[in-house]
Homo-oligomer: A and B are copies of this chain.
Amino acid sequence: MNDLHIAILGHRFMGRAHSNGWSQTTRFFDPPYRPVLQVACGRDTKDLQKFADRWGWAEIETDWHRVIERDDIDVIDVSLPTHLHAEPSIAAAKAGKHVFCEKPFCRTADEAKAMLAAAEKAGVVHYVNHNYRRCPAVHLAKKMIDNGEIGEIRHWRGAYQQSWLNNPDHPLDWKLKKATAGAGPLWDLGSHAIDLAHFLVGDFAKLICHGKQFVSERKMVEELSQTGEVEVECAANLMGEFKNGAVATIETTRYATGRRNRHTFEIYGTKGAITWDMEEMNRLKFFSEGDPEDKRGFRDIMVNEPSHDYANAWWPPGHIIGYEHTFVHAAADFMQAIKDGTGIKPDFNDGLKIITVLEAALRSMETGEYVEF
């Protein structure tokens, strides 16, 4: 098994999740490479060193340019805030590195196009980490839909709801500033929701977006005694239609009291229905019109059986997995894609498509009009 040398940019929440993702691949899967955690890159050297020690990154570096210049690095893992995705991803691709990029892909469709162009030109493997696709239950949903088990889809009812901004003391961090985050929950949560809609249903034909500002001023991170303007929407609701004729609603918010990370969808088709909620990620609910009328009901499928992809690599049936496992699945598939010379989905094409939808939604939020695709 050859080594694959990884460099990671970023060492906060996503830095941890990605590091764990790479580390666990060889324990539970059989990737074609051994991932070597070579360089961790960040600006706060003290925290960075702690992070590297904890996760086994062999070296630390403060300038990402120097990381990308290195010949011994095969993969650049971009785990930085959104505004720092485009430049290093492009540079990495140009330098011939495979790029594993955290979501939201970037801030604008222009950035996305440049990222895609660079990756395609370089011929590297490129991936946007919409990890929920690799939740075993979502993966099963995809297989079932592709097999026609729910027939033609008519309804998508989605929501990604969190509640952390319900805390009035939460300060004005980078996720609340347009320049760093792109937008609010529309970007952060909506990108995931749109990705799953693309994955499971298809492309949108039209959308309209309704944004809302519940709280417009928050304490500044730099100086808690002062407040600054919240530059992004607090909640964004979407309504529209897919090209295949299914209709959709999607809610994204950070103010849904009691919902901590509820990413959910309901899909209704001519032959059946499927629902899922990330807070109960080991389960998929499935209703089939094919069952006898008197015994129909939503089945509560625990997606932990030997026949369930990804899940079967972990533990015996009924022994559930958690949030971080989706990152392991992504890392393992990413390595396989490098080996096979194939792509991996969602890639920068998908990233561009999502950002294009989000950007149009953002425009719609301003104009109050539908956007068509």
Residues of chain B within 8 A of A140, CB atoms compared: 294
A296–B258 touching, CB < 8 Å: yes
A316–B261 touching, CB < 8 Å: yes
Query: In the complex, which residues 237-265 of chain A have their Cβ closer than 8 Å to any Cβ of chain B?
Result: 237-241, 245, 247-249, 251, 253, 255-262
A280–B279 touching, CB < 8 Å: no
A373 within 8 A of B: no
A266 to B284, CA, bound (A): 21
Residues of chain B within 8 A of A292, CB atoms compared: 307
Given the known interface contacts A212-B247, A301-B296, the answer about A287 and B258 at a Cβ–Cβ threshold of 8 Å is yes
Contact with B along A307-322 (1 / 0, CB 8 A): 1100000111111111
A195 CB to closest chain B CB (Å) equals: 18
A46 within 8 A of B: no
B150–A257 touching, CB < 8 Å: yes
B308–A319 touching, CB < 8 Å: no
Given the known interface contacts A286-B295, A325-B322, the answer about A155 and B251 at a Cβ–Cβ threshold of 8 Å is yes
A363 CB to closest chain B CB (Å) equals: 15
A212–B235 touching, CB < 8 Å: no
- Partner among B279, B291, B302 whose Cβ is within 8 Å of the Cβ of A279: B302
A54 within 8 A of B: yes
B27–A257 touching, CB < 8 Å: no
A297 within 8 A of B: yes
Which residue of chain B has its CB nearest to the CB of A19? B27
Given the known interface contacts A26-B54, A55-B27, A239-B210, the answer about A294 and B323 at a Cβ–Cβ threshold of 8 Å is no
Residues of chain B within 8 A of A272, CB atoms compared: 257-258
Which residue of chain B has its CB nearest to the CB of A368? B370
**Chain A interface, >50% SS class:** mixed
Residues of chain B within 8 A of A308, CB atoms compared: 294
B279–A268 touching, CB < 8 Å: no
Query: In the complex, which residues 41-82 of chain A have their Cβ closer than 8 Å to any Cβ of chain B?
Result: 54-55
A20 within 8 A of B: yes
A315–B305 touching, CB < 8 Å: no
Which residue of chain B has its CB nearest to the CB of A152? B214
B260–A302 touching, CB < 8 Å: yes
A140 to B293, CA, bound (A): 12
B293–A297 touching, CB < 8 Å: no
A257–B369 touching, CB < 8 Å: no
A272 to B255, CA, bound (A): 10
A182 CB to closest chain B CB (Å) equals: 20
Given the known interface contacts A26-B54, A294-B307, A299-B295, the answer about A258 and B268 at a Cβ–Cβ threshold of 8 Å is yes
Which residue of chain B has its CB nearest to the CB of A240? B210
A342 within 8 A of B: no
- New A-B contacts (6) at CB < 8 Å, excluding given A163-B268, A278-B318: A27-B55, A155-B256, A257-B289, A261-B317, A321-B322, A321-B324
